[in-house]
Structure 1
Amino acid sequence: MSVATSWSRITVWLDAHHPATAALVNPPATAVDLRYLEAAINRPLPADLVELLELANGTEHRSVRGSLIPTLYNLVPAMHMLKAQQMLREIQRNIFGSGPRPGESEPAGRSSMDWLDSFLPIAEAADAGLLYVDLRDGHQRGCVWEWYAEGGPASAPWWSSVGAMLDDVAGALVDRRPALRTYARGAVWPEKRVSYLPEVDDDYLRWFAAPD
C-alpha cells in the first residue's frame, strides 16, 4: 500500500475517532527542510520517508494525547530528527571517541549496540525511546528500529520500511489487524513478544497487547 493511501486511512480514522490527535498533525515539510536534512546527514532519505514528510511534518508530539505509532511513539518533524540525531552522535563520541563505530560497515538491518551516524530518529516516546530508520547500505536500507539509550536496539527491525510501518498502523486503526505482528513472530528478544491493537482510552490513543 502506498504511503499516501496509508496516511489517508490513518488521518480519516483520526478525524472520526480521535480528532484531538488529528488536530496536532503538522503541515507538510518544506522542500528546503528536506534538502537541508539530507545535506546535514550526508545521506539520501528513503523515498517513503520523504513522501510522509511531504504529507505531514510529524506531529506536535509532546502534546499528542496518546501514541499514534505503537507502542508509545509519535512522529517528529524533520528538523527535530536532525537535532535528535546530532545529540545522540555527540553522546556517543563523548563516550567512545570520534572514530567510526564497527557497526557502520555492517549492512542495514543488522543489530548494533552503538548509536550510529547512519541512524535517523523519526519518532519519540515520552520515556526517551526512539524509532529510527537505518540508513546503512544493503537491501534492508530504510528499515525501522526501536532504540533505548540504556538498552540499545531491538533484536530485529520493527518494520521493513516507513511505508510498512504506516500500512501496519493503518491496518490496526481501520481494520483491527494487530500491529507489529511480523516483528513479534520473528524477533529474538525480548522473550515475550506481542502484537498490538489501538484503543481510545480516557480520550488517549493507546496501544494494548492483542489477544493471542
Structure 2
Amino acid sequence: MTVAVSWSRLAGWLAAHQPATAELINSPATAVDLRYLEAAVNRPLPGDLVELLELADGTEHRAVRGSLIPTLYNLVPVKDMLSARQMLQEIQRSIYGPGPWSGEGDRAGRPATDWLDSFLPIAQAADTGFLYVDLRDGDQFGCIWEWYPEGGGQSAPRWGGVGEMIEDVAGAFVDGRPALQAYTSGAVWPEKRLPPQLVEVDDGRLQWFAVPD
C-alpha cells in the first residue's frame, strides 16, 4: 500500500471521528523544505518519508495530550526534525566529546548506543522520546527506531519505514486491529507486552493501550 493511500485512510478516519485532531495536520512541506532537509542531513532521504512530507509537514497537535503514532508520539515538521537532531547531537557531544561515534559505520537496522549523525527524528513524545529514521546505508535504510536521550535506542527497529508505520496506524484506525504487532512479536519487549490498540477517551484525546491478542 502506498504512503498516499495509507495517509488518506488515516486522515479520513481522523476527519470523521477526530476532527479536532485532523485540523492539526500541517500543510505539505514545500520543495524548498525538502531540499533544505536533505542538504542539512547530507544524506539521501527515504522515498516514503518524502512522500509523507509532500502530504503533510508533520502535525501541530504536540501541544494536545494524546498521540497519533503508537504509543506516545506525534509527527513533527521539517524545522523541528532539524532542531531536534541538532539538540541530540549537542547532547551526544557534550557527554562523549567529538565523534566519530560507535555504530556510524554499521549498516542500517543495527542497534546503536550513541546518537548518530545519520539519524533523523521524525516524531516526538511529551516525555522526551523520539522516533527517528535510520539513514545509514544498507537493506534497512529508512527503518524507524525509538530513542530516549537518557536511555539510548532499542534493540530492533519498530517499523521497516515510514510507509509501513503509516499503514500500521491507518489499519488500527480504520480496521480496528492492534498496531505494532511485528514489533512486539520480534521480542523487543522481553516482558511480553501486548500490542497496542487505539482507544478514544471521553475528552477526545487519542491514546494507545495494550489489548489482549
Cα deviations across residues 63-82 of structure 1 (Å, max 9, x unaligned)?
Answer: 24411100010000011101
Q: Give 1:34-113 correspondences, 5 Å limit.
A: 34-113=34-113
Deviation (angstroms), 1:88: 0.6
Extract unaligned runs of 5+ from structure 2: none
Kindly state the Cα deviation for residue 19 of structure 1 after the two structures are TM-superposed. 0.8
8 Å CA contact 2:178–2:195 kept in 1: the answer is yes
**Deviation for aligned residue 1:62:** 2.2
Matched residue, 1:185: 185
The alignment covers a number of residue pairs equal to 212
Mapped partners of 1:65, 1:30: distance in 2: 28
Query: Is the CA contact (8 Å cut-off) linking 1:25 and 1:58 kept in structure 2?
Result: yes
What secondary structure is seen at the aligned counterpart in 1 of 2:183? helix
Q: Label 1:179 to 1:186 Cα distance change in 2 as closer, same or farther (>3 A).
A: same
Distance 2:190 2:147 in 1: 13
Q: Could you tell me whether the CA contact under 8 Å between 1:61 and 1:76 is conserved in 2? A: no
**CA deviation digits over 1:84-110, x for unaligned, max 9?**
001111111111111210200111111
> Match for residue 18 of structure 1?
18
Q: What is the TM-score when the length of structure 1 is the normalising length?
A: 0.97
Question: What is the rounded CA distance, in whole Å, between the counterparts of 1:29 and 1:117 in structure 2?
Answer: 23
Partners of 1:147 and 1:99 in 2: how far apart?
Answer: 19
* Letter in structure 2 aligned against 1:204: R
1:135 maps to 135
8 Å CA contact 1:46–1:142 kept in 2: the answer is: yes
Deviation per CA, 1:179-200: give whole Å up to 9, x if none.
0000000034442332111111
| Structure 1 moving runs of 4+ over 6 Å | none
Question: Is 1:6 the equivalent of 2:1?
Answer: no
**Cα displacement string for residues 30-81 of structure 1 (whole angstroms, at most 9, x for unaligned residues):** 1111101110110111000000000000000322441110001000001110
Separation (CA, whole Å) in 2 of partners of 1:64 and 1:135 = 30
The more displaced of 15-24 and 189-198 is: 189-198
- The aligned amino acid for 1:109 is G
Match in the other structure for 1:211: 212
Alignment identity in percent? 70
- The alignment partner of 1:147 has SS state of strand
3-state SS of the aligned residue for 2:193?
Answer: coil
The two structures, once aligned, show a CA RMSD in angstroms of 1.1
The answer to whether the Cα contact below 8 Å between 2:193 and 2:210 also exists between their aligned partners in 1 is: no
Question: AA paired with 2:148?
Answer: Y
